[in-house]
């Protein structure tokens, strides 16, 4: 059979499956898994394929494009959907019922099936988690044998904990149930600090019980913090402008400018001068426009085009224990400057991070041991990005950083074994129980779990 070429949404991860097939029903998934002569291994399933790591690569095998996207039921505190339902569509349906997700994650193209078994990130609200899967309470999947399996917190909580980190290695998820909450007004504001002032203020900021995301500018020694808090007493009409302004700059105009400047301005000092000026305007916009006592949480979710364009961007991720973050981020600001001085490379966008609460709902939760803060480079993958990521991965690993398997590119077994260790062996033993013939195991996970 001739191999095909499929890329992830960004376009930098290439898969060469022998077969690409759309799945419109459970029966079609069963038929695919039970027919290895027509649909060779490895079999991987994808939704929008936004992962920045090769989770969905199926070289020589079968790539299933999930097309099951119906909203099946909205209850008083639950949402049940097919696996290819995406978060922006689900959030709008919930809003119409005066409900919302606990985690209104940025990438609106995130599918329910991916959220149920892979890592995500968002700044935690007080008393809540920051990972979407932590609020997924039940899944239905097709096992590699073709049999069906239903897992839930109510019946098999220990297995559900494993499913949330299974990355499609146990079976193909086709139905997902979320726990949801009443729609609640949300306050947002932004403040910019120098790095030193931010770290000095950090204990007091945490005591304020805000959700905190932050935008980092190492070459200007600045951090702009996004503060969010539920505000149930908000009066009047919601501000439906603040988040769309942020989303357009973050998801469209910023990456487009980074791409175009990289393409058209050859002198680094001028190129990055333009980018730094844009970032300064971005900080001002966040502080002056993206501020309100009454916004709606679902407005944070960004709608990305199904096929990426010149506004696309990619990213990486490492989490650090909250108490280790001040030293790690101080070193990171210097690392970025030193790397640019030595290699002539810096990201043509910016760097972000999230404060994420301790969470043991998934076996491979990166905040299993306690609260974490993350350091996430963002780029249009300008020339030198991959070499930079290799250096960044080593920088983070030396400082006890914790990656996530679907959002940290260019991982290897050593980088993953260090933080996860025995948990990987538990995951692999469970995977072998459900998939003794390695029907779903691609080369990436074969190396990671080795």
Mind listing the pLDDT tens digit for each residue in 74-84? 999 999 999 99
79 part of a folded domain: yes
The 10s digit of each residue's pLDDT in 39-49 is: 999 999 999 99
**How many CB atoms lie under 10 A from the CB of residue 73?**
10
Domain shared by 179 and 190, yes or no: no
Domain shared by 194 and 312, yes or no: yes
Q: What is the model's pLDDT at position 2?
A: 56
126 part of a folded domain: yes
Domain shared by 153 and 223, yes or no: no
Number of domains composing the chain: 3
442 part of a folded domain: no
Domain shared by 216 and 290, yes or no: yes
Q: What is the model's pLDDT at position 3?
A: 75
Domain shared by 17 and 100, yes or no: no
Q: What is the CATH number of the domain that holds 31?
A: 3.30.43.10
Domain shared by 191 and 308, yes or no: yes
- End-to-end Cα spacing for the chain: 29
Tokens of 450: 């080795």
Listed in sequence order, the residues at least 6 apart from 443 whose beta carbon sits closer than 8 Å to its beta carbon are 42, 54, 57, 59
The 10s digit of each residue's pLDDT in 349-379 is: 999 999 999 999 999 999 999 999 999 999 9
Using the 3D structure, point to which of 66, 89, 105 is the last residue of a domain.
66
Mean pLDDT, the chain, whole residue set: 97
Domain shared by 141 and 98, yes or no: yes
Using the 3D structure, point to which of 153, 183, 213 is the last residue of a domain.
183
203 part of a folded domain: yes
Residue 186: pLDDT band with limits 50, 70, 90: very high
Residue 1 has pLDDT above 80, yes or no: no
Give helix 385-398 / helix 325-343 axis angle, nearest 10°: 150
Average of pLDDT values for 114-140?
97
Q: What is the model's pLDDT at position 450?
A: 85
Q: What is the CATH number of the domain that holds 151?
A: 3.30.465.10
204 part of a folded domain: yes
Average of pLDDT values for 292-318?
96
Using the 3D structure, point to which of 32, 66, 100 is the last residue of a domain.
66
- DSSP, res 41: S
Q: What is the CATH number of the domain that holds 296?
A: 3.40.462.10
Spell out the SS3 assignment of 73-94. Answer: EECCCEEEEECCCEHHHHHHHH
Domain shared by 373 and 232, yes or no: yes
Tokens of 13: 């991860």
Host domain of residue 260:
186-411
Listed in sequence order, the residues at least 6 apart from 297 whose beta carbon sits closer than 8 Å to its beta carbon are 100, 101, 104, 183, 184, 186
Domain shared by 294 and 333, yes or no: yes
448 part of a folded domain: no
Domain shared by 107 and 170, yes or no: yes
423 part of a folded domain: no
Q: What is the model's pLDDT at position 105?
A: 95
Residue 136: pLDDT band with limits 50, 70, 90: very high
Domain shared by 13 and 85, yes or no: no
The pTM for the full model equals 0.96
Domain shared by 229 and 377, yes or no: yes
257 part of a folded domain: yes
Beta strand 314-315 pairing with 372-379: antiparallel
Average of pLDDT values for 310-320?
97
Q: What is the model's pLDDT at position 127?
A: 96
The 10s digit of each residue's pLDDT in 374-426 is: 999 999 999 999 999 999 999 999 999 999 999 999 999 999 999 999 999 99
């Amino acid at each position: 059979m001739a191999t095909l070429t499929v890329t992830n949404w960004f376009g930098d991860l290439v898969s060469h499956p022998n077969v690409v097939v759309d799945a419109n029903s459970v029966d079609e998934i069963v038929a695919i898994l039970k027919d290895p002569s027509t649909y060779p291994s490895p079999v991987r399933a994808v939704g929008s394929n936004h992962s920045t790591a090769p989770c969905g690569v199926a070289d020589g095998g079968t790539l299933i494009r999930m097309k099951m996207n119906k909203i099946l039921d909205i209850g008083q505190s639950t949402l049940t959907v097919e696996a290819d339902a995406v978060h922006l569509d689900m959030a709008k349906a919930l809003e119409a019922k005066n409900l919302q997700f606990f985690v209104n994650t940025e990438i609106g193209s995130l599918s329910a099936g991916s959220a149920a078994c892979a890592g995500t990130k968002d700044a935690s609200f007080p008393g809540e988690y920051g990972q979407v899967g932590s609020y997924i309470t039940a899944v239905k999947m097709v096992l590699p044998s073709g049999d069906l399996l239903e897992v839930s917190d109510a019946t098999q909580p220990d297995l559900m904990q494993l499913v949330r980190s299974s990355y499609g290695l146990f079976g193909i998820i086709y139905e997902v149930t979320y726990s949801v909450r009443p729609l609640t007004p949300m306050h947002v504001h932004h403040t910019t600090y120098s790095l030193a002032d931010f770290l000095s203020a950090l204990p007091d900021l945490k005591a304020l019980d805000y959700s905190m995301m932050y935008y980092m500018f190492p070459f200007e020694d600045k951090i702009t913090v996004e503060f969010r808090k539920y505000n149930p007493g908000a009066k009047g009409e919601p501000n439906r402008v603040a988040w769309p302004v942020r989303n357009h700059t973050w998801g469209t105009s910023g990456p487009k400018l980074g791409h175009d400047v990289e393409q058209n301005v050859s002198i680094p000092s001028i190129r990055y001068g333009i980018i730094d000026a844009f970032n300064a305007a971005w900080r001002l916009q966040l502080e002056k426009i993206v501020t309100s006592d009454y916004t709606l949480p679902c407005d944070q979710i960004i709608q990305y085009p199904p096929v990426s364009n010149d506004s696309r961007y990619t990213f990486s991720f490492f989490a650090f224990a909250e108490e280790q973050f001040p030293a790690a981020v101080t070193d990171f600001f210097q690392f970025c400057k030193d790397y640019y001085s030595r290699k002539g490379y810096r990201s043509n966008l910016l760097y972000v991070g999230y404060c994420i609460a301790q969470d043991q709902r998934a076996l491979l939760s990166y905040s299993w041991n306690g609260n974490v803060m993350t350091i996430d480079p963002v780029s249009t993958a300008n020339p030198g990005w991959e070499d930079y990521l290799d250096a960044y991965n080593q920088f983070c690993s030396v400082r006890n950083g914790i990656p996530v398997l679907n959002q940290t590119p260019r991982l290897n077994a050593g980088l993953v074994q260090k933080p996860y260790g025995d948990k990987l062996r538990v995951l692999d033993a469970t995977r072998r129980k459900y998939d003794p013939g390695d029907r779903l195991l691609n080369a990436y996970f074969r190396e990671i779990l080795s």
